[in-house]
Structure 1
Amino acid sequence: MQRTSIVPEKIRELISPFLTAKGLAVWGVELAASGHRQLVRLYLDLADDVVRTPERRGVTIDECATVSRHLGTLLEMEDLFHGPYVLEVSSPGFGRRFFSADQLPAYIGEAIEAKLAAPRDGRKRFRGKLSAVDGSRVTMTVNPGPQAFSLSFEFDEADKVRLIHAFDAISEGEAADGDA
């Protein structure tokens, strides 16, 4: 069990100097089983000090490929995995998963989905708008509208928290508020 927390940190440590030089940063690292192989997913984003412009909105496919080749070489030299593994490098994407509470404040007001480790009121999965983050405490408004309620939890109580990307410009509730 301890090994699963050590490996993502070691991967961060190995690749961070290379990423910093390229204006990139680790968004998160996931480990999972894939058949008889270890699956390693590295999510990249622009570094905090990189200004986003219409031409530079995120990580490119070429950057992911370059990082994948470099990290693959580093992992082979470090021999972190005892057996075969699959390395995937990508941007977090529209439905980005959050790996720590400190990634959340920039997304206050956005739609998120939280899957809790233990059920609350008979369910584990909640969708709503992120309303506040206080340290590691996350508060979201579930079921926006007349049935809305507030749900607060410690980030570590969630198995997964992810952004829900809305492709629609305006939801029905927002249109009723006169924002249209």
Structure 2
Amino acid sequence: MKQSGIERRIADLIEPVIKDKGYDLVCLSLMGQELQIMAENPQTRNLGVDDCALLSREISTILEVEDPIKGHYRLEVSSPGIDRPLVKLQDFADFVDQEAKIEISPPLEGQKRFRGFLRGIEKKNEDDEILLETDTGMVHLSFHAIEKAKLVLTSKLLKKKISKEEDLITNEHQIEN
């Protein structure tokens, strides 16, 4: 996903703090005077309410000192959610076989929006291509052309999420015993 100059500056300021607390920055978006930040725990690919509050306090402190946003703004820190945005190349690999919506620029054969199942990543020359199986066949989308991508909320995705959370609970229980 492409970022504006101010978004890149904010990401550069806050990402070290987010990493230091054990989380990953998924994405951020500045729309008007609203700064939305999505972060996750790399083990769970989620972020709890307490985690959001902790990161919000830490990020607020940095932004108050550095002051990259002129005037008043509203800060929102959240988990990426189940129908999460796909931002990093690894996201497309991690969610193979899941349904996704992808927007690209420039268009591919006149088409800008695609919906289908993620089938993997291929290296082509100097670029990585996302393989997306659509109703009309397999499409190869340049990773660098992706403007926006997100998972589609489906029962399959919900089952995967529930299964992963059950595995984490089981593993935590085994560690405690």
Q: Which letter maps to 1:26?
A: L
Per the alignment, residue 176 of structure 1 pairs with none
Per the alignment, residue 172 of structure 2 pairs with none
Q: Aligned in 2, Cα 1:159/1:17: closer, same or farther, shift over 3 Å?
A: closer
Gaps of 5+ in 2: 158-177
Per the alignment, residue 153 of structure 1 pairs with 141
* Shift of residue 7, structure 1, vs aligned partner: 3.3
Pairing 1:85-104 to 2, within 5 Å after superposition: 85-104=73-92
* Shift of residue 13, structure 1, vs aligned partner: 3.5
Aligned residue-pair number: 152
CA distance, structure 2, for counterparts of residue 17 and residue 123 of structure 1: 37
2:64 pairs with one of 76, 87, 96: 76
For 1:104, what is the secondary structure of its paired residue? Answer: helix
* 2:39/2:47 contact within 8 Å kept: yes
* Shift of residue 100, structure 1, vs aligned partner: 2.6
Per the alignment, residue 169 of structure 2 pairs with none
* 2:17/2:59 contact within 8 Å kept: no
* Shift of residue 61, structure 1, vs aligned partner: 0.8
Pairing 1:60-75 to 2, within 5 Å after superposition: 60-75=48-63
For 1:28, what is the secondary structure of its paired residue? Answer: strand
1:141 pairs with one of 133, 137, 141: 133
Q: Which letter maps to 2:48?
A: T
Q: Which letter maps to 1:42?
A: I
1:20 aligns with 2:19: yes
Residues 10-60 of structure 1, C-alpha deviations (whole Å, 9 max, x = no match): 333433343334321111112222xxxx2211111113xx4x4xxxx7310
* Larger deviation, residues 16-25 vs 63-72: 16-25
1:45 aligns with 2:40: yes
Gaps of 5+ in 1: 170-180
TM-score by length of 2: 0.73
Decide which structure has greater helix share.
2
For 1:97, what is the secondary structure of its paired residue? Answer: coil
TM-score by length of 1: 0.72
* Shift of residue 82, structure 1, vs aligned partner: 1.5
Per the alignment, residue 178 of structure 1 pairs with none
For 2:114, what is the secondary structure of its paired residue? Answer: strand
Q: Which letter maps to 1:141?
A: E
Pairing 1:108-127 to 2, within 5 Å after superposition: 108-120=96-108, 122-127=110-115
